[in-house]
Structure 1
């Protein structure tokens, strides 16, 4: 092969290689997941105003705590409460508030990013025999509840007639012999990190 033919062949090969490299310089798809961080949240977490039209005889405005992103925040609702007095007032308030927590968020609450972790099977009753008057017992030991649900319950009860004079809540499970009562407080840490709720109780002695 002549030197001229050799040079032409080499030039042709270089042209082909350059074309192949140019075709492959784009971004190629991959099946390997890429960690780009959490998706940006569009939740406003702004509590909607309570409709006054819902208020009436036996209905009062109450504050409950719902989930929004990774926190719990307060919203106002209208709940049905009778005018009966203590000692059943605390239990009645707890039941009415728990019922509000079990309800799905309204359309306006959902659009703002609110949700609830409190499920229908969770219930509350008054003190068992030998309990202090202000105690409340859930149908499951508090530490066995989902942490976000327990945080919602604690903070909702703490700001209501279900709490004691120090705005703390005494909760226990259904078995008074095996489920000791614990005192819970709704702290800023709990509102911003609801997962701490299950380990925040202090034994009632």
Structure 2
């Protein structure tokens, strides 16, 4: 009888312990990345950009979505004999970054920090041949905007001449730096600046 009473007591204690096994709040700081979101950061396309003809070319640009950089397919129009001109391609890509987003892109959670007024030109006298100069010094751009530009240019083999780095500077007199688009930059563009080295 006494043994039975102990068993019943243990069963009752077990039930109480099990009922308290929910998720409890913690004061320990945690960092598991961006908070979950219902936005998938993906767009459905009804047309095939690869199938377009004439002077239209498919490109990818980096927009911001859930605090990350995500590629979006766009189409730019270039003269057929200028599709390999790195400065013209860079200008077309930058224009795509600065243009107003479509209603579909906004609904999907995308945004851009690149201002429409931002322009890009080729190297000045004395600059390396692969240099690109922005109308706004890179240091004056927001971290997101600079990351968008660097990663969009780096993703284009035309603008980088096949390199993984992008040589950028501002107007005349602004120092040139070689920027790299890393996975860390794409994951946290607002917190992790693109690695850069000054170009002599």
How does the TM-score come out when normalised to structure 2?
0.75
Residues 1:192 and 2:192 aligned together? no
1:64 to 56, 61, 64: 61
- Return the offset for 1:195: 2.5
In the other structure, the counterpart of 2:177 is 182
Aligned length: 165
Q: CA RMSD in A?
A: 2.3
Aligned with residue 165 of structure 1, among 146, 159, 162: 162
- What stretches of structure 2 of length at least 5 have no aligned partner? 1-33
Q: CA separation in 2, counterparts of 1:198 and 1:85?
A: 32
Residue 82 of structure 1 aligns with which residue? Answer: 79
Where do 1:44-193 residues align within 5 Å? Answer: 44-49=40-45, 51-52=47-48, 55-85=52-82, 89-160=85-156, 161-175=158-172, 177=173, 179-193=174-188
Kept in 2, the 8 Å contact 1:50–1:78? The answer is no
Quick one: distance in 1 between partners of 2:189 and 2:93?
A: 18
CA spacing shift, 1:195–1:40, aligned 2, 3 Å: closer
Cα offset for 1:40? 6.0
Contact 2:181 2:194 in 1 (8 A): no
| Matching residue of 2:37 | 41
The answer for unaligned runs of 5 or more in structure 1 is 1-37
